Structure 1
Amino acid sequence: MTSSVRTIANHAWSRRNFSAAMLAFLAMPQYVRAQQPEPRIAALDWAWAETLLALGARPYAIAEAELYRERVVTPELPHDVIDLGLRSWPNMELLKSLQPDLILTQAGYGVQAATLEQIAPTLALPLFTPERRPLQLAEAGLDAIAAQLQREKHAFQYKADFEQTLSEIRASLHSYDGRPVLIVKFADQRILDIYGPGSLFHDVLGRLGLENAWTEAGNHWGFSTSGLDAVARNPEARLVIIEPGPPEKLVGSDLWTAIPSVKANRVVTIPPTWVFGALPSALRFAMILGKALQPA
């Protein structure tokens, strides 16, 4: 666990007795435990919600549940999870009325942990920081959540499976032509978000042995917002577009067909993948990209 994760976790949990309650729950005989309600966990951040699901646990409530199902997709969110409203500013009255046992949130985003702690024990974990190593912090966050829920074995197995899958994908790309990839998502008809160093996708590319054509650091989340000229400035790259693809009007234009990667038919489109996610989103992106880059 990084020092930043440890500091935040210790601060939150030194004031609460959630861990003691969890230990007492786990110490119960299995037949008794089965009759006890699971801890009510409210996840205000999708990265930690998907991490919770990856550990075999489930959120009692989550912010923007329907959008999670559309943009994060997997791990699948149960349909009876309560929707708390916006991730940036959830319905605080509803959150309080649910009497959660634990609140998961991302440090530095949305409601401050100090405010949330007035409602319930809060674990505020960093993901996108000046360190610009989201994949590393995603793993640290998995460990931190697993430790608090007494699910360390689940975390160990998930990380082992994660590493094995990435290794297999990397091996499957041995026949790839080695071109750097340019990962983009359309913000509107002619403006794109391009993912570079500091983004989750950039870290995944490195683990797969692929080169990122975009070297600019970009914003806090590791992406730059630019026009189509940025794509044209990388004529040797393979263009990877995260759905939805380019607008129909653009596809039929001379501007689009003049882009070198488009002209050379070096464009692949992949399904939606959550760009601000943790290990499950990183795994989904790696699996989808690995399949998309396989020779036709």
Structure 2
Amino acid sequence: MAHVERLGLSRRSFSAAMLAMLAMPRSAMAQTGSDRIAVLDWPWAETLLALKIAPLAVAEAGLYRKRVVTPALPDGTIDLGLRSWPNIELLKSLRPDLILTQANYGISAAILEPIAPTLALPLFTPERRPLHFAEAGLLDIATRLAREPQAEAFLASFNAELEDIRQSLSGYDGRPLLIAKFADDRMLDIYGPGSLFQDVLDRLGLANAWIQSGNHWGFSTAGLDAIARAPEARLVIIEPGPSSSLASSDLWKALPAVRADRVVTIPPTWVFGGMPSARRFAAVLGKALASA
């Protein structure tokens, strides 16, 4: 049983997944052209969708819908189990034409190559330029699948949209931002250099109040005192926000940003994502700051 759990799905779940696949209508199973693509990490799943290609299967597809949100996965997308260790038995049975995964994360390409040709693309690297690698990955996938026109169209719309948002914020007061997501009731992940969000702030001409480099993904986990150490910042909270007990506490109300009513919230946005996540972050942040 331990072996089955390590594969990401129980035998019962595997059987259910296979029955669901067989029961799908042809329209739900149809892929663009003849491509049957399995995706083990969400940035490349959303990138594939940006290229107008529906993936056959995605790891943790249900959770993708809650955390990445958009672009939305088609209803018929098969769930491959864990991103860190997908259900290999199910993956083999699907006989994909291509497997997309993130380099240096989760299961190695050497294990996947015997199943199907595998494209392992870097995103978070020691260079700490995730948006750059997200664009490079988009172009690599487009070249591999002969979708260069779709990639060019996406990049044109991406650049135009970010420029529009930048222009819409021309009246913003220039106050630096502290971008945070609650890890629990007292700890937050705060995003700084090396994060996807930092790259978007740079494109929008916005200052980040958090200058610590943080971990591999560009964020630091800190207590509420970190907010107090940036008294002039505007606090941007990625939903969900503070618990009701914390929000009503004297501790929370005493924080400079809270006391001065300099707090905005934005919908769930995936910090570990590719270009579609970067575009979503820019859009929701721009909307939140427009009325700040």
Q: Structure 1 residue aligned with 2:164, among 139, 155, 168?
A: 168
Q: Separation in 1 of the partners of 2:44 and 2:153? A: 18
Choose which of 216, 240, 243 in structure 1 pairs with 2:239: 243
Task: Tell me the equivalent position of 1:178.
Answer: 174
Give SS of 1:123's match.
Answer: strand
TM-score, normalization by structure 2:
0.89
Contact 1:176–1:295 (Cα < 8 Å) also in 2: no
Cα deviation digits, residues 45-94 of structure 1 (max 9, x gap): 00000000000111100000111011101111001010000101100100
Specify the alignment match of 1:86 in structure 2: 82
Residue matched to 2:263: 267
> How many Å separate the matches in 2 of 1:280 and 1:96?
29
Give the count of matched residue pairs. Answer: 263
Which residue does 1:150 correspond to in 2?
146
2:174 is matched by which residue type in structure 1? G
Name which of 275, 279, 289 aligns with 1:283: 279
Corresponding position of 2:127: 131
- Alignment partner, residue 61 of structure 1: 57
Distance in 2, Cα, partners of 1:67 & 1:36: 24
For residues 199-218 of structure 1, the C-alpha deviation after alignment (integer angstroms, 9 at most, x for no partner) is 00000000000001100000
Which segments of 5 or more consecutive residues in structure 1 lack a partner in the other structure?
1-33
Q: Does 1:105 align with 2:140?
A: no
1:215 aligns with 2:211: yes
Pair 1:73-2:81 in alignment: no
2:37 aligns with 41
Q: CA deviation at 1:38?
A: 2.7
**C-alpha root-mean-square deviation of aligned residues, in Å?**
1.2
Q: Tell me, what secondary structure is at the counterpart of 1:239?
A: strand
Deviations 1:114-143 (A, max 9, x none): 100010000000000000000000000000
In 2, the alpha carbon distance for the partners of 1:181 and 1:245 equals: 16
| TM-score normalised per structure 1 | 0.87
CA distance in 2, matches of 1:251, 1:37: 51
| CA distance, structure 1, for counterparts of residue 118 and residue 291 of structure 2 | 47
What is the rounded CA distance, in whole Å, between the counterparts of 1:273 and 1:201 in structure 2? 10
User: Is residue 115 of structure 1 aligned with residue 111 of structure 2?
Assistant: yes
Matched residues in 2 for 1:185 and 1:163: separation? 26
**Secondary structure in 1 matching 2:127:** coil
Given that residues 31 and 53 in structure 2 are in contact (C-alpha distance below 8 angstroms), is that contact kept between their aligned partners in structure 1?
A: no
Unpaired runs of 5+ residues, structure 2, are 1-29
Instruction: Say whether the 8 Å CA contact 1:242–1:270 is kept in structure 2.
Output: yes
Task: From the superposition, tell whether residues 114 and 206 of structure 1 become closer, same or farther in structure 2 (CA, over 3 Å).
Answer: same
